[in-house]
Amino acid sequence: MPPSFSFQLQHTDANSAARRSTFVTPHGPVEMPAFMPVGTLGSVKGLEIEQIRGSGAQMVLSNTYHLALRPGEDVVAELGGLHGFMGWDGPILTDSGGFQIFSLAHMSKVNEQEAVFRSHIDGRLLAISPERAVAIQEALGSDVAMVLDHVVELPNVPEVVRDAMDRTIRWAARCRDAARRSDQAQFAIVQGGLDADLRVECADQLKKLDFPGYAVGGLSVGEAPSEMYRILDATVPQLPVDRPRYLMGVGRPEDLLEAVARGIDLFDCVMPTRNGRNAMAFTDAGPIRLRNLKFERDPRPLEENCPCPACRRSRGYLRHLFMAGEMLGPILLSIHNLTYYQRLLAGAREAIAADRFAAYRAEKMSGWSTSADSDAIPHTIEP
């Protein structure tokens, strides 16, 4: 691990694999398990930095592919790197662009050397090789840089999954060899689709390359939640105990607690902000869909014990903002949902330290299961 980084595992829950830990970066510590708001373009949509910080967020995520296209990593570097550019003084993680190989498959081609994209903005070509992905992220100046991986749609034929996994390992080695910054930590990404044996093989090969952290990627891309949990059961025990473990692009509150129980430390997902912009609030009693007429005269806050600014208003008022097309509605619900995710994982940290995570998870699951809307939240969310 680079000299300006460290990882301390404080406690493992007595009745699960849930971990309480601290990941120290050049821009401060991250108490884990932790959730990162997604700021793809250097902005968490609709929110000012103080609102993100006020939600309890410790670390944010931005995206290499999108920032390379606009405004360009050279512009970001000239304006102070991502921290100075967006005004966030805490830790930042940048995704390498590997997910766009999957999400923009109709606009990209992959060979052994690189992935070539046709820009969704103006149609020009952008080639991202492992070396180029590292160079862009070093220019952006993030604390954690993800290696370039090859993500494929699931389910898929075994030959395609095997080929993508093998390429991910080779690309990880190239990313490691291309790294130049001592103040940036690289995380490797375990691939292998829904094949548990391939996941174990990939994890074993990546461990030999000795990365400062390890992620599980290529999930929440179309498979059932039970399949994701099965793969985590096989994969997470193969990851180093003394390094951070990151589950990419996940997910629902249920998924977060299920993954924490299996030993995952770090998460990101667009769900809290995207759903907030679409009038859906997360609560301990399940999701609230504010466009429903039953909330028109509801004087209650979204949650009685939530400190966010949205919960200082009534459900009726928040519904009014959405029905009237006022931009304050999406802003307030985005803040509420981010605050909810941060409170959820802060509670998980406390429960792990007290060896009561199983009871905490059961309590939350029980509350969510009573909601008529809980099953309507999609498992797969594209960033």
Q: What does the DSSP assignment read for 251-316?
A: --HHHHHHHHHTT--EEE-SHHHHHHHTTEE--TT--EETTSGGGTT--S-S-TT--SGGGGS-HH
Q: Do residues 253 and 283 both lie within one domain?
A: no
Q: Which domain holds residue 15?
A: 7-269
pTM: 0.95
The whole-angstrom distance between residue 82's C-alpha and the CA centroid of its chain comes to 18
Question: Is 2 within the bounds of a domain?
Answer: no
So what's the pLDDT on residue 381? 44
Residue 114 carries which side chain, given as an amino acid letter?
E
Same domain flag for 229 and 252: yes
Q: Is residue 383 part of a domain?
A: no
Strand pairing category for 92-95 and 144-146 = parallel
Q: 95, 143, 195, 284: which is the annotated catalytic residue?
A: 95
Low-confidence ranges of the chain (pLDDT < 50): 372, 374-376, 380-383
Residue 104: CA count within 13 A, CB half-sphere: 22
Confidence (pLDDT) at 380: 47
- Claim to verify: residue 259 and residue 300 sit in the same structural domain: no
Residues 185, 145 share a domain: yes
Residue 378, beta-bridge partner list: none
> What pLDDT is stored for residue 378 in this prediction?
56
For 24, the enclosing helix (H) or strand (E) is strand 19-25
Same structural domain for residues 253 and 112?
Answer: yes
Answer yes or no: are the C-beta atoms of 322 and 332 closer than 8 Å.
no
What is the H or E stretch that residue 331 is in? helix 328-353
Structural domain tally of the chain?
2
pLDDT at residue 382, rounded to an integer: 40
Are residues 26 and 85 both part of a single domain?
A: yes
Q: Which residues contact 330 (CB under 8 A, 6 or more apart)?
A: 46, 276, 277, 278, 279, 322
178 CB contacts (<8 Å, ≥6 apart)? 130, 131, 134, 135
Residue 119 shares a structural domain with residue 137: yes
Q: Report the pLDDT value the prediction gives residue 331, as an integer from 0 to 100.
A: 98
DSSP summary character for residue 244: -
Active site residue 204: no
Active site residue 183: no
CA–CA dist 13, 107 (Å, integer):
45
For residue 33, whether the previous peptide bond is cis, meaning omega lies within 30 degrees of 0, is yes
Spot the catalytic one: 13, 255, 265, 268.
Answer: 268
